[in-house]
Amino acid sequence: MPNIQLNNTTIYYEDSAPSDTTKPIILFAHGLLWSTKIYDKQVAHFAKDYRCIAFDFRGQGQSQITKGGYDMDTLADDAIGLLEALDIDSCHYVGLSMGGFVGQRVAIKRPELLNSLTLIDTSADAEDPTNIPNYKKLVTAIKWLGMKRVSKKVMPIMFGSTFLADKARKVDNKEWLSLLNSNRKEGVVKATMGVIERDGIYDRLGEITTPTLVIVGDEDVATPYAKAERMHFAIKGSKMAVIKGSGHTSTVEEPEQVNTVMSKFLNSCV
């Protein structure tokens, strides 16, 4: 799959139908510590009817680790730059967690680029100050000891108790733990600090006019239901869906539920 040069970085992306000019487009933006892979089940589901493009943020997945540019506004410019580089006039944007932080900014900066906005397991607020010391300790541990030393502590932040306790999904559990461990240390440290130090954007949600769907897992401890509801009430005309038995990575934990609510929403945006 291709890489593209934009905003002084090389971005990796996957495109399900690069030569198809007739299908509507969905742009998928992943969460912190992950990659395009968190959307594999969504791409498989939607690729028949949509051109699905998923990309890795700088410093993560297969994209370039840069010296700087990990703040949410620069990442939003990267997403916008990708659309422009691919000559895409408009798309349905789907962002999980960090991808959602970015999506809100894209919707405010360049609303004409978005046909719809789906925000999954995310928030419009700055990081909770009570979480920051613990997250900074994790960053320090990653910096000096590597990802493997902290990944088991990160898993309960990323996934709900139902997924982690499901014996039938032990193989899935191990696979995602392995993917966490495969993160490049330097990129992870920079990307995590960008998330920890992000500005809140809640006061600007009234500017979003794009049709919006807010999705949250009922076991999400990183950005719980109250954060999702707060966004939902602040974005005029938005819809909200709760994914049962899911934590902070709903696209992986309960893909069928996510695909169902997304399909219904996208069909309403036609």
Q: How many other C-beta atoms are found inside a 10 Å radius of the C-beta of residue 16? A: 18
How large is the average pLDDT for residues 169-182? 96
- Among all chains, which residue has been given the structure tokens 């399900």? 16
pLDDT at 1 over 70: no
| Amino acid occupying residue 251 | T
How large is the average pLDDT for residues 17-29? 96
Closest CA relative to residue 145, chosen from 35, 153, 6, 238? 153
Taken in order 15, 21, 23, 28, the sign of the CA dihedral is positive
- The domain that holds 10 is classified in CATH as 3.40.50.1820
Q: Spell out the residues 6+ positions from residue 113 whose beta carbon is closer than 8 angstroms to its own.
A: 80, 83, 88, 89, 90, 91, 93, 106
pLDDT in the model for residue 135: 85
Taken in order 185, 186, 191, 192, the sign of the CA dihedral is positive
pLDDT in the model for residue 100: 98
The per-residue pLDDT for range 196-250, each reduced to its tens digit, is: 999 999 999 999 999 999 999 999 999 999 999 999 999 999 999 999 999 999 9
pLDDT in the model for residue 138: 85
Q: Using CA atoms, how far apart are residues 102 and 194, in angstroms rounded to an integer?
A: 11
What percent of the chain shows pLDDT beyond 70? 100
Predicted confidence band of residue 14 (pLDDT cuts 50, 70, 90)? very high
The per-residue pLDDT for range 95-131, each reduced to its tens digit, is: 999 999 999 999 999 999 999 999 999 999 999 898 8
Q: Which domain holds residue 251?
A: 3-268
pTM to 2 decimal places: 0.97
Which tokens go with 66? 């840069």
What domain count does the chain have?
Answer: 1
pLDDT in the model for residue 131: 85
pLDDT at 158 over 90: yes
The per-residue pLDDT for range 70-97, each reduced to its tens digit, is: 999 999 999 999 999 999 999 999 999 9
How large is the average pLDDT for residues 14-43? 97
The per-residue pLDDT for range 34-72, each reduced to its tens digit, is: 999 999 999 999 999 999 999 999 999 999 999 999 999
Q: For the purposes of burial, counting CB atoms within 10 Å of the CB of 133, is it exposed (0-12), middle (13-18) or buried (19 or more)?
A: exposed
pLDDT in the model for residue 134: 85
